[in-house]
Amino acid sequence: MKPTVKPASQFATNTTTVPTAENQILEANPNSPAGEVKPTSKSLASQAVSGLKWGSASTVANAVMQIGYTTIMARLLAPEAFGVIAIAGVILRFGSYFASLGLSQAIIQKEDLSNENIRAAFTSSLVLGAFFTIVAWLIAPFATEFFDNGAGVNESLLVPVVQVMGIAFLLNGLSSTATTLLQRNMQFKALSIIETISYVLAYLGVGIICAYLGLGVWSLVFASLAQTTLVAIGAYMVVRHNVLLHFNWTSYKPLFSYGSKMSIVSFLEFISISLGSILIGRAFGSYKLGIYDRALLLVSLPMHMLTRTVSKVIFPSFSKMQSDNEKLGRVYLSSITLLAAAVIPVCLGIAVASPEIILVLLGDQWVESIPVLQVLCLGIPLSFITMFAGIVCDAKAALNSKVVLNVLFILVICGCFYLLKDYGLVGFAFAVFIAELLRVALYQRVMRKVLDLSYKTQLQIYLPGLLNGVLVAACIYGVSHILRSLDIPMIVVLAAQIVTGALSLLTLTFVFPLKLLREQIGQVIAMVGFNVNTSTYLGKMISRFKKDFI
């Protein structure tokens, strides 16, 4: 299980951008708690842009490394190993949301944060982390029995894996306050460096070496714990927050008031995200779950890489705008327009290229994942797009709506799984797609209430992504149809698919963009503040976007 991406084991504007200098002005104040950000001279927009730049660099680096890591480990380990980790991840995440009690989100969301609040958050995280590490060790034999229905789950291996991975509760308890303060203060440069270095050392170092030495599933366990440890050390070295324990209830109350509700919401989201692992592991066993897990990883990994940086920046940014509905609504619509324009074409392209992606990256033993991956490419992009509506609810503390929405989602996906279970993994993938369509509709109703956005306005922001997605998929399909008939090496076909998809998406986005998409790109370019040479083709193109915005 990879703490940075949590793939299959889990399953979150028309005219403006991030606020400019007229909004709250910020800069790091060394006299405030843990480098707290206070109003002075640096704009929120500048911090957001800086965070996006550093986060994007880290994302690209991690994407390349994770693709390489997945390719190597898929050849060194059997599908059962990934299935065992997926099941263990489900069991442990049942406790993870109660182990944190939503304190991380509470620290980011709280407008005024004191040193006592920080000490209270650290004390709670540490005590709860230690408690749930002990609980995980004690209940592992009982929790794993749920999956032992004769479907092929190796319980004798699953129990110790859950027990050892339970140490992550304690490690996360030590690190969560520091990493959350980095996000709250928008210190994304430091956070990106920490995550990248920890990934290299843990997964490309510990994980691959252990797998090569024949440690099997334990190579995945040790890599996960190693990265969590390195992140804890690195984050604290940067933040150096107060670690004295604190037991004054007045410091806990404002955090728990929001955090406890957030914990319930997060737990329901975990259930909805993890139903795949729960239901498939229970019904079909660890082998089939491993097949599903890898298919889900291949579509969720690029989606995660596209959204993880933005989501980290968006929540603190949205929280700082929580009292301005009009501005928050415009930023939300802008975010969805740009995200859909990237996510939907990438997913539809992956669907077309699924045979080559599976066989080249994972190998022949994973051929059963191909149809599963193709169907998941329809539902997973919707999951990542609606994530921003969830962030708005978090920033506005509109958590009751999220509770109801997630309960309905869970009921629908369970019902669809029951109706489609005879179709195996492909049937469950269709269940995910149907449930995600429902989630989109439900979140549109919530945004209508919370931000007063009309349904027409919310629907039209998907159009650039849908149209570009169909065209990109058509281009990839045409190239694939020709090259597959020539009997050339599959890796060459995959390379041609990647190049075709990238060129067609870039052309549709920057050369022939729809009006709505062109407006949003112009805002981003203006916000970043590009100074270009208008005598070059690239400079003329960027100037055109800036002119549209101005």
Same domain, 159 and 212: yes
Pull the structure tokens for residue 304.
């995660």
Question: Of 465, 496, 522, which residue is a domain's last?
Answer: 465
Same domain, 336 and 393: yes
Instruction: Give 37's strand partners.
Output: 28
Question: Of 465, 497, 512, which residue is a domain's last?
Answer: 465
Same domain, 180 and 282: yes
Could you tell me if residue 519 is inside a domain? no
Output 291 or 535, whichever has higher pLDDT.
291
DSSP string, 38-79: EEEEEEHHHHHHHHHHHHHHHHHHHHHHHHHHHHHHHHHS-H
Could you tell me if residue 529 is inside a domain? no
Distance, CA of 215 to CA of 199 (rounded, Å): 19
Give the residue numbers spanning the domain of 429. Answer: 321-465
Give the mean model confidence (pLDDT) for residues 419-442: 90
Distance, CA of 435 to CA of 415 (rounded, Å): 10
Residue 466 has pLDDT above 90, yes or no: yes
Instruction: Give 53's strand partners.
Output: none
Same domain, 330 and 206: no
Residue 9 has pLDDT above 60, yes or no: no
Using one digit for the tens of pLDDT, what is the confidence trace for 104-157? 667 776 667 778 878 888 888 888 889 989 988 988 887 767 666 544 556 677
Distance, CA of 443 to CA of 453 (rounded, Å): 11
**166 Cβ neighbours under 8 A, 6+ residues apart:** 92, 132, 133, 135, 136, 137, 140
How far is the CA of 369 from the CAs of 84, 293, 373, in angstroms? 17, 9, 6
Could you tell me if residue 530 is inside a domain? no
Residue 88 has pLDDT above 70, yes or no: yes
User: Residue 440's CB: how many other CB atoms inside 10 A?
Assistant: 16
Distance, CA of 174 to CA of 243 (rounded, Å): 9
Could you tell me if residue 531 is inside a domain? no
* Identity of the highest mean pLDDT range in 71-75, 102-106, 132-136, 270-274: 132-136
Domain total of the chain:
2
Pull the structure tokens for residue 327.
């501005």
Among 1-15, 347-361, 454-468, whose mean pLDDT is lowest? Answer: 1-15
Instruction: Give 43's strand partners.
Output: 25
Question: Of 297, 316, 335, which residue is a domain's last?
Answer: 316
Same domain, 306 and 385: no
Question: pLDDT value at position 7?
Answer: 35
Residue 103 has pLDDT above 90, yes or no: no
Same domain, 332 and 453: yes
How far from chain centre, in Å, is Cα 360? Answer: 25
Same domain, 269 and 383: no
Same domain, 247 and 185: yes
Q: With bands split at pLDDT 50, 70 and 90, how would you rate the model's confidence at 37?
A: very low
Could you tell me if residue 54 is inside a domain? yes
pTM above threshold 0.75: no
Using one digit for the tens of pLDDT, what is the confidence trace for 193-225? 898 899 899 988 999 999 999 888 899 999 999
Give the mean model confidence (pLDDT) for residues 13-19: 31
Same domain, 220 and 282: yes
Same domain, 389 and 308: no
Could you tell me if residue 514 is inside a domain? no
Distance, CA of 72 to CA of 89 (rounded, Å): 21
Same domain, 286 and 329: no
Residue 63 has pLDDT above 90, yes or no: no
Could you tell me if residue 394 is inside a domain? yes
Q: With bands split at pLDDT 50, 70 and 90, how would you rate the model's confidence at 29?
A: very low
Side chain identity at residue 486, one-letter code: L
Using one digit for the tens of pLDDT, what is the confidence trace for 487-534? 889 999 999 999 999 999 999 988 888 888 877 777 666 655 555 555
Give the mean model confidence (pLDDT) for residues 20-36: 35
Question: pLDDT value at position 27?
Answer: 32
Same domain, 419 and 330: yes
Using one digit for the tens of pLDDT, what is the confidence trace for 298-338? 888 777 766 766 666 665 666 566 667 787 888 888 888 88
Give the mean model confidence (pLDDT) for residues 356-374: 90
